[in-house]
Amino acid sequence: MVSIKKAALQCVLAALALPHVAKAMMPIEIHGSRFIKPSYNKANTGEVFFIKGVDYQPGGSSGYSDSSKSDVLSDSDACVRDAYALQQLGVNTIRIYTINPAINHDKCMSIFDAAGIYVIIDVNSPLSNESLNRDDPSSSYNYWYMERVFKVIDAFKNYPNLLGFFSGNEVINDESSAKEDPPYLRAVQRDMKQYIANNANRTIPVGYSAADVVSLRTATWEYFSCNIDGKEDDSKSDFFGLNSYEWCSGTSDWASSGYSDINSTFTNATIPVFFSEYGCNKNTPRTFDEVSEGVFGGLVNTLSGGLIYEYSEEAADYGLVDITDGDLKMEKDYTNLQKQYENVTIANISESDVDNSTIKSAYSSFGANFTLPSAPGGVSSLIKYGVNNTNIGKIVSISGKETKYNITWSNGTEVSDVSISINPTYSISTLDTTASLSSSTASSSSSSTASSTTKTSKSKGEAGVAFLPYGSISAAIAVAALALI
């Protein structure tokens, strides 16, 4: 087991050290109802990107403090540990619920970037003045709240592996909040997108993560995805996440889970839709049948993947791994999900095959009106001139990084020498043409035969595929790199 693990890590090293490979991930774009992973070669079309991910908040939201000098993305040892575990799992995206915008996240975001992992960031926190109060949105939508939101944007806007921001999570969760909150949430999205347009060097998608209240599902979706008065506007969500726990391992199937209704609701979606949380834990250990039979089965033509809840064991008992004093043990749920992701096969869909017709106006059955509140006093100035945040993130060199923490497989076998070595010239825009293979094991692994071109991709390779510029590396090396990541 240890030798397999070392070969996997050395293959990561080799993939990073190959000529022309030392290039940061390409930012995800949106084309109609699909996420698109652009090609490094501008002459080639991009490919549809499916989220195979997990919700990632070690320590839980309760472990966050705005006065602390640490958060979930500040411990590079933990990020190396988790990048390794996430790669082995077959993950290409993580969602992070709470971060501190005053803390530097360069090392962790660079580690995840090098590992081929995209990140979706929630801009809110559980603390006062750091989220909309669903019971009193008018007073909580204020200058201080939006200033913090903009600082979060500044802290992450320059990371190419930032997939997008969530403007809110389950703010609307009953009939009462459905009457009060929708216009304020769209106002927050409007302000965020205007800030990004004025203060970032690329378009960054902004979306909403909805509670799966069946009676409100369609109304919520229509409200966030439609254009006011039929005109394209910047308050509309760029993507829509649904927190769904309808399919429970061992007892549910397509017919009984409600997935058929989800498919009907979103079949004509005009923006990307995915599960921002899923993975019912009514029966344990979870077998995650909903991954292969649901999300990447019957829903594959409707959804853009999903994020399993959740990475680490917290109070709610959903963890794929257990973290104690920094050391990590993979649970049975981890092994079961790993098998599901390994067996998922998704057809490669070219960007040119995606319908990008003009977004149609949709009728919303919400009682809430579409008269959005104006930006709070002073916020327009922040949007125009920025928040003068000195903590602007960037990709940095990560070389020879190891973790001080231990990792143990679910069968009790300990993984030794856990490290991810990264080419020190790894950067957003610079190609390295001088690096060479530094591992004979990785070199020998690259001799695997790859004589045919496939039209499908196994999920375990998706996490690392962003390292490989199209058409610039032999098929044999490409397959070897993908096989072990």
Q: Taking Cα atoms as reference points, which of 404, 477, 478 lies closest to residue 444? A: 477
Q: How far apart are CA 482 and CA 434, in angstroms?
A: 22
Going by C-alpha positions, the residue among 101, 90, 198, 100 that lies closest to residue 392 is 101
Nearest to 195 by CA among 383, 19, 58: 383
From 29, 147, 170, 222, the catalytic residue: 170
| Active-site residue flag, 277 | yes
Strands 321-324 vs 327-330: parallel, antiparallel or unpaired: antiparallel
Pull the structure tokens for residue 145.
């709240």
Longest CA pairwise span in the chain (Å): 65
The one catalytic residue among 130, 277, 290, 351? 277
Residues with a known catalytic role: 170, 277
